[in-house]
Chains A and B, each alone.
Chain A
Amino acid sequence: MAESSYGGDQLRAILAAAGASGTWDWDIEADRLAVDQHFAELYGLTEPLNLAALPTATFFKAIHPDDRARMRIAVAGMVAGAEQFSKEFRVVTANGVNLWVHGRGQTHFDESDKPVRFTGLLVDVTARKRTEERLRVAQSAGGIGTFEYSDGFATATVSHEFCRLLGLYPASILPVPTINSVLKMKDGPCLIPESHHGGPPESLDGTFCIVRSEDGAERWIARRGEIVHEGPDGGYRLIGVIYDVTESKAQESELRELNDTLEARVENAISERSQVEEALRQAQKMEAVGNLTGGIAHDFNNLLTIILGNVDTAIRRLDGDTDPRVKRALDNAQKGAERAASLTQRLLAFSRRQPLTPKSIDAGRLLAGMSDLLTRSITESIAIQVTASDDLWVVEADPHQLENVILNLAVNARDAMQDGGALTIDARNVTVGPTHEHEVPAGSYVAVTVRDTGIGMSATTVAQVFDPFFTTKEVGKGTGLGLSMVYGFVKQSGGYIYIDSAPGFGTIVTLYLPRQFVASDEDAEDIPAAERGKPTETILVVEDDEDVRAYTVGIVRELGYRVIEAHDGASALKLFNGDQAISLLLTDVVMPRMSGSELAEAARRRQPELRVLYTSGYTRDAIMRDGKLETGVDLLSKPFTYTTLANKLRDVLDRSESNIVA
């Protein structure tokens, strides 16, 4: 009689001995059932029976009616030659209690393949059934899928949740390649490793990246489980679960990235911060120096005004009889004072306290107008070329200052080319893109370039070049104020400046002046001849500095106007008492107690059509915005000459009514 596997019998015997289960032995031929004591107990066979020779129907007697038909069919199959029997069913005990049991058995055949015995093991699984039920609920609630795989098979037994997690068609059996096909890394470890891929895995613990079959979503799946080794020939079974860990994986990787980049990001932040700090320091330095020079320049301005004014007066008093040496001396004094004045202008410009009168200008025209001035300043050994595009955009800048700036740059260029060279000045339209070349923000600009083929500057020099009083020229040559003034002008005009230089390679200085999108309102450059005033026109001069006031009053009177004066805002206001009509208020901007603009405002309340002309050498005031004046506000910068004052007075007085700003 063919025997079942030795192992199975042994196991049964052991288990039976341990009391864990009952055994049965169904003799098919003799139609007889033999059971052991434990089986009898499980089945609740209480009557005195010969357990070795029971009718085969006994097998079904205690089975729950709902399971009985199913079990009959299963047993019929075994008896007819099916090989494996593994069924769970309920047994109703004598007390009416339902017990879940698991029967595992096999059929034994004779030489002619006839089934002769059906033996098996019965185990009480009531507790397990309940756990399984809970597990099933937990699975679908908790998104856990189970799988079981016996090596050698092409399929694995899975739960519906398993299929759902992987986006596969729900089934209780899936082919292993189908399961593994959802893995993102096709040549990485398999979700279900088959035996022909090299034996059982070390452990089932792992995470896998998958692409869900039904919707293509990328998910991370964790796998846990056990490897059960079976049999002597290396067979094994894998029993495990999978669950989705995409959320925690995402957080994990975000965290890891943050960690990895932490150092880099901290470094970046630090370096950015340092750059900002450096820039701030530089700006603060410039500001401090500006303050300093501004203060000095202001005082100088006032003194110069006096000198210039008086020298001017003296010159005008000369007649044909005067000793020509006297005239020459006075002329020289005047020139000297004028040069000094232009110097303080530059200082003030640098300190950004020089209010500019910006106009819409065509830089090309301006350059063309400068060409003879340039030629005079530059020696013959240097070739000069001045060019500008034809359709140059309009920019808003103070034309005098711009001229000064260009002249300044040209002089520097000349000084860098002691042995001759080439100087190119050029103006053209430039649109700066988002890459911010030359550290200039994106936008439309007119770029004025001054290029020389001189000795060039080192990087360290370039970094210091805008500092006032910084100079590489020998003592006595140059004041070192040029480029700082240029810087001041550029900043006040809302532009940018870039220096490209290297020792031996010459220098290119580029000014970026923002394009102004209105038509140019250039007026004629010619300085008109002085125009006199009428005695019917009353000018009120308000100035807290005695000497400057005296000078100013003197000129105004000389020009033919009627002049009244006041030393501060309060006393000036008193003069608006209706006794007289004041044609024009000539006032300093910055005064103690009441500023020029406050005075003007108050005065206009009493006399709405009052014209106002401000003077100032020291502007840090509410009406100044970025060094420019509000449109419609007229400003005469100190020191001013006789002619300048005369023209400006006339200009303001003659302007049509509608131009007066209320």
Chain B
Amino acid sequence: MTAPSISLDELERDALTEIVNIGVSRAASNLRKMIGGEVLLSVPSIDVVSQRRAARLISEREVSELIAVRQDFEGAFSGRALLIFPETNSLELVRAVTGGELSVQEVLEMEVEALAETGNVILNSCLATMANMLKRSLNMTVPEVLRGTGNSLFEVDETTSSEGLVLFLYIDFAVRKHDIRGYIAMIMDLPSLATLKDLLDEFIARVVGEDG
């Protein structure tokens, strides 16, 4: 069975980019509140690629092991969102969000937890904002902290079909003051993509109005 080639046209891409922008802005603003430093965001990169390729796009970007907070969402459209850090950075983040309240020992003990909560705030605010814009609700799972490579985070192995396309969304963020950087990545499978397309069209219609 060949995968239907679903793609987003230019306007739909623009719309999705905007929506993601809004979501990520909110997330960045929250991260800013947690850390107290300037958070920079890149322009979101949006591609429809195979799951394998998505995994590779992440693993190619980093040499070291990755640590990620993963949250699945479902509703009108489903998928997986990841907040990814190179492992070397994660403690820096924990230190930043605990605001120097904890001892070094406590920071180490709390690492996973702190990451989970940070991920929770960021991913939730991002996804929730997006859901609001698209006027649909999503159910989110409790965030999980994982360690691994691009492949393991995206659950790609030899059995993964190279045809299964996903929407791969990727935003780079950096916290200059604390030398923290990471990515927000989202993947959505094709059926969800079809629904998403419809929702985007609705959004566009709302926004563009009679101008069309």
Contacts and interface: CB of A to CB of B under 8 A. Distances in A.
A630 B186 CA distance: 96
A45 B38 CA distance: 38
Contacts of A152: 40, 174-176, 179, 181
A14 interface: no
**Prevailing SS type, chain A contact patch:** mixed
Given A82-B21, A113-B26, A173-B42, A76 B176 contact: no
A72 B206 CA distance: 10
A235 B61 CA distance: 22
Contacts of B14: 69-70, 73-74
B207 A72 contact: yes
B137 interface: no
A109 to B, nearest CB: 8
A156 to B, nearest CB: 10
B11 A70 contact: yes
Interface in B1-59: 10-11, 14-15, 17-19, 21-22, 25-26, 28-29, 38, 40-43, 45
Interface residues of A, number: 34
A175 B60 contact: yes
Interface string A163-178: 0000000011101011
A385 to B, nearest CB: 76
B100 interface: no
B136 interface: no
A77 B18 contact: yes
Given A73-B14, A83-B21, A177 B181 contact: no
A445 B177 CA distance: 83
A196 B129 CA distance: 32
Contacts of A74: 14, 18
A151 B179 CA distance: 10
A83 B62 CA distance: 27
Nearest to A69: B208
Contacts of A171: 45
Contacts of B179: 152, 195-196
Interface string A138-160: 00000000000011111100000
Contact of B176 (A70, A84, A181, A233): A233
A181 B182 CA distance: 19
B211 A80 contact: no
Nearest to B16: A73
A153 B40 contact: yes
Contacts of B19: 77
Given A154-B172, A233-B176, A172 B45 contact: yes
B183 interface: yes
Q: Which of A60, A76, A181: most chain B CB closer than 10 A?
A: A76
A81 interface: yes
10 contacts: A69-B14, A76-B18, A80-B133, A82-B21, A113-B26, A152-B176, A153-B174, A154-B174, A173-B172, A233-B176
Which 7 pairs across A and B sit closest by C-beta, in order of nearness?
A77-B18, A175-B61, A152-B174, A82-B21, A83-B25, A76-B207, A152-B176
Given A83-B29, A233-B176, 18 more contacts: A69-B14, A72-B207, A76-B203, A77-B18, A77-B19, A81-B25, A81-B129, A82-B18, A82-B21, A109-B29, A151-B176, A152-B174, A155-B61, A172-B45, A173-B170, A178-B60, A181-B63, A195-B179
